[in-house]
A and B are shown apart, each in its own frame.
Chain A
Amino acid sequence: MFKPERFIEETVSKLRKEIKGKAIIAFSGGVDSTVAAALTNKAIGDRLTAVHVDTGYMRKNESREVKDLMDEMGLNYRFIDAKEEYYKALEKIEDPEEKRRIIGEKFIRIFERIAEEEKVEYLIQGTIAPDWIESGDQLRDTIKSHHNVGGLPEYMKLKLVEPLRDLYKDEVRKIARILKLPVAERQPFPGPGLAIRVIGAATREKTEIVREACAIVEEEIDRAVKNNEMTYPWQYFAVLLPIRTVGVHGDKRAYGYTIAIRAVESIDAMTCNYSHIPHNVLDRISTRITNELGDRVNRIVYDITNKPPGTVEWE
């Protein structure tokens, strides 16, 4: 059986031996990078600097919350606002793998810049098993390039350290609980963020729509869980489809986008079934999204695909 206490002990001592000078960690504020940061922090203390990049594709209020988290954990950190840079690079990109590649490469270039300023040699990442499995290799087909593996450029100056490489999310959560990290139960969120929840080009305008829709899904599910109507799915969010359909808004024709709601149950993300969310909850989500987003969205669908054959995120 996986023993989190032993893993913590062994990993901290391994990191202490391996990292001679200073290191930065790619810090999204999710469970994986937060656990990797906490372990590295135990190993090398303030020789570690966390770097959070606000790509513009984060969820509502997310980057502010990440700042609070870094403060709470007592990390040295750099907060990089790269919104404009990312929007500009992605505004015309439709292919999902191309999006992932651009996002991954930009991350690394930013980390390299910071590393040079801070005189750092090592880059820590919270990569876990499904990230490299799905990214593919000589033997394995590429399902999707996770930004922190398949999105990495071929040439990079920093030495990569990935202490969680052999773990799955359920094991990372066990460590997070022992370390009493507030993000232990947080739902997974992909590194490329909302850019892969907009099917087609993730323009600023469409990103705002999906950001709002994701926030509504999260709020309504929080509420339903509080009311004992359901338990938290493994992951739950909205996807903006490039399909427009006809609707009627206040006796007038509407022609807006479609939002797909996705929620799945899993232990390790390697197989998933779609969540059986009560219809009442879906109903509230549907009504709120269509009302609050006005003429931009007028149709909501619910994704009933398992993994396999689907994957959790649409891209």
Chain B
Amino acid sequence: MVRIYVIDNGGQWTHREWRTLRDLGVETRILPNTTPFNIIEKERVDGLILSGGAPRMGLQSELGNCGEYLEKSSFPILGICAGHQYIARFFGGEVKPSKIPEFGKIELEILESDDEIFKDIPRRIIAWESHNDEVTKMPSNFIHLAKSENCLIQAMKHRDKAIYGLQFHPEVEHTEYGEKIFENFIEICRQY
């Protein structure tokens, strides 16, 4: 059984991420973002999800111990919303308040549909958002995977490591193919 834990950054949908993983047969738990890395390591997880949350990554720099996880992990990590923005900052990118924030429904355009995270997903899908800030400059060692009309960096991945960031929310019911994106991430963790 694949074991993927959810790091809780205080999001409204952290528990939805847990539920989606559980529904897909993954062994999962929610851990607060203050959990030290060595505890996560002892649990022998196959992957981590860094949830979204109320912290404004465009205005502040820390997100619990997420930095430690990104530095020390040898397994795949998927950052969602604030988690995604934190990943961008951590690897040298920039996050700023959005000119036009997105709440609710948007159209997502997938630029790299060959990437494993978007396997078997149409190029254009309806996705749901809830963010005040966004990644304004992607770190140089990342690949740009998806965009929307009002937010360029909707998805990205590290060139060499299995580290992904999504600005939109695949865990909510209203995002099309959201569950498929989770299945793809689970597969990435399984094969890693």
Contact = CB atoms under 8 A, between A and B. Distances in A.
A271 interface: yes
A266 B22 CA distance: 20
Interface stretch (B12-20, B70-78, B136-144): B12-20
Contacts of B93: none
Interface string B1-41: 00000001111111110010011010000001100000000
A55 B11 CA distance: 33
A178 interface: no
Interface of A is mostly: loop
Nearest to A139: B10
Contacts of A166: 15
Nearest to A309: B103
Contact of A168 (B19, B25, B129, B174): B19
B165 interface: no
Interface in A286-309: 306-309
B130 interface: yes
A291 to B, nearest CB: 34
A270 B104 CA distance: 11
Contacts of B22: 2
A73 B164 CA distance: 50
Given A2-B23, A270-B16, A141 B105 contact: no
A267 B173 contact: yes
B128 interface: yes
Nearest to B105: A306
A270 B52 CA distance: 14
A273 interface: yes
Contacts of B128: 271, 308
Nearest to A305: B104
Contacts of A268: 16, 173
B111 interface: no
A82 interface: no
B105 A270 contact: no
Contacts of A1: 23, 25
B15 A133 contact: yes
Contacts of A134: 12
B103 A140 contact: no
A138 to B, nearest CB: 8
A143 B103 CA distance: 15
B13 to A, nearest CB: 6
A129 interface: yes
Given A139-B32, A140-B54, 16 more contacts: A1-B23, A2-B22, A2-B23, A133-B15, A134-B12, A140-B11, A140-B12, A143-B12, A166-B15, A267-B173, A270-B12, A271-B173, A271-B174, A306-B105, A308-B129, A309-B104
26 contacts: A129-B15, A129-B19, A133-B14, A133-B15, A134-B12, A139-B9, A139-B32, A139-B33, A140-B10, A140-B12, A140-B53, A141-B10, A168-B19, A266-B173, A268-B16, A270-B12, A270-B172, A271-B128, A272-B174, A273-B104, A306-B104, A308-B104, A308-B128, A308-B129, A309-B103, A309-B130
